[in-house]
């Protein structure tokens, strides 16, 4: 099969059908030159995409229904473990900001369903979720419309840096970017891309918050996950304003020096 046919075959599966083509191409590039059959390349690419995009997501979330925000947050493993701590997390992140803030949530998943926790910490929140899984974007926008929340989820690849910077530049200041449990997935598809992304967006924002797991979400066991490659990069290039942990997730808040 030609490359375009293989990409279409990969995306025939429901969970990958609404991914940005660029992300699928990056995953396929890992196996394109291997001496394997086209069928094997399709299988391997799907396996990688599942690891990056779907491993924490319940398939029930791919079929939007009128479920409560808490139900949705509990169905996604990342937000499930964050759910008991949203008040504390957002309180610390927004501590030094005033009555209005713009949040740009990169690789948001279903984190948009935590909007009301954000609203408890500041008078006005302009919230924009950027997510690659189209079904989760639809789910989030349906929720915003149903609850009459003036926020927006956008189906876009995090590898489209220029488009992301354009979205950020159109928001009101002050601006905060969330990268919750996202950098590892970016690195799977392109080494050192998360460092490039952070460098590119940093001049446009007032604060960036990166988070990553420090213990297993399933077995609740701690593991050696200090992410030295990203923590050293942040320490050497930015000013850290806070570094804290809740529920097996570490958050580093930083800004331009």
Distance CA 254, CA 105 (A): 15
Q: Is residue 225's pLDDT more than 60?
A: no
Q: Write the CATH number for 187.
A: 3.40.50.150
Pairing assessment for the beta strands 175-180 and 207-213 based on DSSP bridges:
parallel
The stretches of 129-222 forming alpha helices (DSSP H) are: 134-146, 161-169, 183-189, 193-201
CB count in 10 Å sphere of residue 22? 15
Percent of the chain residues topping a pLDDT of 70: 91
Phi/psi for 243 (5° steps) reads -150, 110
Residues 191 and 244 occupy one common structural domain? yes
Phi/psi for 58 (5° steps) reads -70, 135
Show the domain range for 146.
Answer: 63-256
Residues 146 and 189 occupy one common structural domain? yes
Q: What separation, in Å, do the N-terminal and C-terminal C-alpha atoms of the chain show?
A: 50
What does the pLDDT look like over 208-218, one tens digit per residue? Answer: 999 998 875 54
Residues 145 and 180 occupy one common structural domain? yes
- Summary mean pLDDT of the chain: 91
What does the pLDDT look like over 13-49, one tens digit per residue? Answer: 988 999 999 999 999 999 999 889 999 999 999 999 9
Is there a contact between 128 and 103 (Cβ–Cβ < 8 Å)? yes
Residues 86 and 69 occupy one common structural domain? yes
Q: What pLDDT score does 223 carry?
A: 46
């Amino acid at each position: 099969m030609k490359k375009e046919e293989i990409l279409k075959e990969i995306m025939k599966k429901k969970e990958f059908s609404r991914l940005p083509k660029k992300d699928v191409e990056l995953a396929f590039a890992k196996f394109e030159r291997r001496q394997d059959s086209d069928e094997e390349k399709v299988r391997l690419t799907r396996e990688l995409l599942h690891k990056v995009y779907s491993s924490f997501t319940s398939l029930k979330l791919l079929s939007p229904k009128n479920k409560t925000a808490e139900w949705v947050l509990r169905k996604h493993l990342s937000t499930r473990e964050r759910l008991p701590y949203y008040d504390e997390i957002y309180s610390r992140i927004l501590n030094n900001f005033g009555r209005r803030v713009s949040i740009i949530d990169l690789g948001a998943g279903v984190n948009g369903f935590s909007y009301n926790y954000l609203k408890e910490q500041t008078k006005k929140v302009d919230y924009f979720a950027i997510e690659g899984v189209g079904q989760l974007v639809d789910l989030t926008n349906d929720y915003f419309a149903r609850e009459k929340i003036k926020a927006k989820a956008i189906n876009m690849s995090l590898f489209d840096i220029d488009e992301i910077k354009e979205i950020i530049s159109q928001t009101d200041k002050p601006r905060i970017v969330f990268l919750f449990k996202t950098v590892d997935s970016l690195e799977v598809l392109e080494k050192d891309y998360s460092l490039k992304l952070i460098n590119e967006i940093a001049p446009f924002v007032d604060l960036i918050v990166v988070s990553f797991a420090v213990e297993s979400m399933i077995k609740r066991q701690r593991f050696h996950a200090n992410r030295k490659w990203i923590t050293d990069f942040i320490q050497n290039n930015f000013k850290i304003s806070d570094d804290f942990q809740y529920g097996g997730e570490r958050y580093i808040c930083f800004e331009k020096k």
